[in-house]
Amino acid sequence: MYKNVISRRIIQCFLLVLFLNVLNTNGSDATDEDEEYIDLGVRLTDENRDQLIADLIAQEKHVISAGHIPGVDMYHFQVRKKRNRRSKRQVNQLIHELKEDERIASVTIGERLERQKRDFVSDDKLIDLYKKYKLREHETRLRQRYHFVESTEFKLSFDDNLYRKQWYLENEGQFKSPTDFDINVTPVWLAGYSGKGISICIVDDGLDHPHPDLADHYRPDLSYDLNDLDDPKHDPIPSSYDGENSHGTQCAGTATAKANNEVCGVGVAYNGDIAGIRVLDGPISTLLEARAIALFVENTDIKSASWGPPDDGTKMEAPHSLANTALEYGVTHGRQGKGTLYVWAAGNGGNKGDDCGADGYASHYNVISISSINHLGETPYFVEKCPSTLAVVYTGGQHETFSNEERFPVGVIASDVDGKCTTTFSGTSSAAPMAAGAFALVLEANPELTYRDVMHIVTETARIPSLLEADDWLINGAGYHVSDKFGFGVLDVAQMVVLAQNWTNVPPRYECYQEYTGGSRKIVIGGKLEVPIKVVECEPITRVEHIVANISFDFPRRGDLKITIISPSGTTSEVLSCRPNDISSAGIQYFPFMTSHSWNENPIGEWTLRIETCDPNAQYSDTGELQHFGLRIFGSYSPKTSSNVDENKRYARRAFVPTNREIEEIYNREFAARKSSNLMQKRDHQNLMKQKRAEAQATTKAPDDKKSPLSAVQKVIASVKTVIKYIREAIPTIRTIYDKIRDFLFSKKEPK
């Protein structure tokens, strides 16, 4: 009996072990058999460069032909394989066969990238957590202070149910915060500009284009789904209607949400066209990223990107060669040669000690990098600081994470997935599309602007947002106020449009390169290394736009180094700050640190690289070494005076740190200009001016029998003015001729 029981127990245990092994085996197989996507970039030979040939090759090799990648001149193949060794061998064999194909010049394997949306834990969640333990009574009092005032009067009367709460668009003190702390867009709307005919593409996790705020202006011809290449319609609609895939739709609503439809709020360019490229809802490779950047740029005015490498303070990543090529293609071939505007969110890693100078996407010289400020004009706690930020916009957010400061009840109001609406969209994720909407209004005012024209207009019109945080401003050698926190200041849409209406295109961009040739230099803990580059000639550049310092170094702890570039005019740009979370010992290789703080300065003179260690008492086993330092100087040739430049604002010759009084004077002057009501011209003024000139020419050619005596007098006066003008212009020439005749007559010797 006992033997039978023991035998049954042994059999049961054996069966249980066998069953578990089967389960484990099946589980392993399921994991191994999961599909993995591999992106390939195939460059065909000159005589075979055609989509039909690419499709034929893909069919022969049983892979997906996903189309052409503009800019990098490759055809996109996608291989799907199971996660096991046999499939890996098959893929390697496939790549070998492609490389051996005589129709193919080269094959590039897409590398996997880590990309994150510029999202973070919202202020509300943080404050609620803090309030639970510390601020119950204080928060109750603050909630009573910041509340919506129903009796507030507005300049515009959109019927969208949340427009009156969009304080960053029209701030009339409706939340008892300082009035006019907004992007000053209402004068532009009142003048008739709304973004009509300008296209904005949101590169993100999808676009809920049937949303009532987006449907009427959706551009399917400029949209694409790069996450699901099986979709024959290439529809970028999100894969799910939840918080995981709402980011792109919120960005789109911020930029172009329809007005007067009783839904949600209003976009900055509420009549602008909207498109979406879905690329963040799945694995992303170097090839997918490059394709997203370059896709449809010929007819896309603006691309907005609110994502990038992780903002955790540990990473340093510059765009790979394909992304660099795609960006260059976009600004040279986009908008029919005028250049697509790339608007990038500066980053939300400030509370983790991150620095946007370590993000080569937000700090790229072909990109307009935008950051955030709150309702008081202060930088929120999450903002990353660096000299590549061009400007800021109002999005909200607390200045400090946990403090007794006021809590503001509303962030950016935006369209949300499934036809819904959010009132808590914030951070630099919302800043980039808000700026994109502003730039759409600028391009509507003057469609002939290039992407660099828009950059120049930003630097000329951005204003100091507040006096509460004025410790970071510097006046550069060309007289521009610049800041690591605010860039050139907060966007003023009305001022931008005013300047754009009569803007003269800036000259072409040139580049010159200078390199330090003194060999490697040691980086000593607690010391300061300064390395000069003397620029004697940088033809034909006379005005700097962007400076890119290519730097390579080794150091035991990468985050313990601070890097500063000093221009010949004395402008200091801290291109990399101390990053306590970056403990990497890998150093960097030819990393492109960019600054725009030397804007319009002269490049000639001595540029200095300064490297300092953050912890002078650190105990490392080894010192560091600077291995390479090169300067790429981007700029243009311009005469000393330009009709585009406000000479009253640009007064410096040598960079300096302004006093509080000087900052206050600049702030008051710029804020007074912001409130001026006589700056805006009507939207059709350019056509009207052309029409008037044509009428004037026709009138001049027509017989003037019926003209009044007054008209004849005016014509005579005009003729006299013209004659006087010609005489004045001829005076220098006449003087030169006179001097030569005099010298000739009186320099001859008298005959003997």
Does 247 qualify as catalytic in the annotation? yes
Which H or E run contains 436?
helix 428-445
Catalytic member of 217, 247, 456, 546: 247
Catalytic member of 123, 160, 204, 492: 204
Provide the residue count of the chain.
752
How many other C-beta atoms lie within 10 A of the C-beta of residue 718? 10
DSSP3 helix / strand / coil % (the chain, rounded to 5): 35, 20, 45
197: nearest Cα among 300, 278, 119:
300
Amino acid at 360: G
Decide: residue 362, CB within 10 A, 0-12 exposed, 13-18 middle, 19+ buried.
Answer: buried
- Rounded to whole angstroms, the maximal C-alpha distance in the chain is 157
556: nearest Cα among 614, 628, 630, 517:
614
Residue with tokens 């990399």: 576
Contact between residue 217 and residue 272 where contact means Cβ atoms under 8 Å apart:
yes
For residues 503 and 391, give the distance between their C-alpha atoms in angstroms, rounded to a whole number: 20
Amino acid at 123: D
Q: Which residues contact 303 (CB under 8 A, 6 or more apart)?
A: 200, 201, 203, 293, 297, 330, 340, 341, 342, 343
**In 236-313, at which residue ranges do the beta strands (DSSP E only) sit?**
273-278, 284-285, 302-305, 307-308
How many other C-beta atoms lie within 10 A of the C-beta of residue 598? 32
Does 596 qualify as catalytic in the annotation? no
How many other C-beta atoms lie within 10 A of the C-beta of residue 708? 9
Residue with tokens 């009549």: 271
120: nearest Cα among 318, 395, 390, 391:
395
For residues 134 and 705, give the distance between their C-alpha atoms in angstroms, rounded to a whole number: 88
Q: Which residues contact 37 (CB under 8 A, 6 or more apart)?
A: 78, 79, 80, 283
Output phi, psi for 494, to 5 deg.
-60, -45
Q: Are strands 521-523 and 561-566 parallel, antiparallel or unpaired?
A: unpaired
Contact between residue 110 and residue 286 where contact means Cβ atoms under 8 Å apart:
yes
Cα-Cα-Cα-Cα torsion 174, 175, 178, 181, nearest 10 degrees, comes to: -70
Contact between residue 271 and residue 189 where contact means Cβ atoms under 8 Å apart:
no
Q: Which residues contact 216 (CB under 8 A, 6 or more apart)?
A: 258
Mapped onto helix, strand or coil, the DSSP state of residue 594 is: strand
How many other C-beta atoms lie within 10 A of the C-beta of residue 681? 17
> What tokens does 402 get?
């946990």
Q: Which residues contact 629 (CB under 8 A, 6 or more apart)?
A: 515, 516, 531, 533, 549, 550, 551, 609
Mapped onto helix, strand or coil, the DSSP state of residue 514 is: strand
For residues 254 and 256, give the distance between their C-alpha atoms in angstroms, rounded to a whole number: 6
Give the chain's radius of gyration (CA, Å).
Answer: 31
435: nearest Cα among 395, 388, 482, 380:
395
Amino acid at 557: R
Mapped onto helix, strand or coil, the DSSP state of residue 103 is: coil
Catalytic residue set: 204, 247, 429
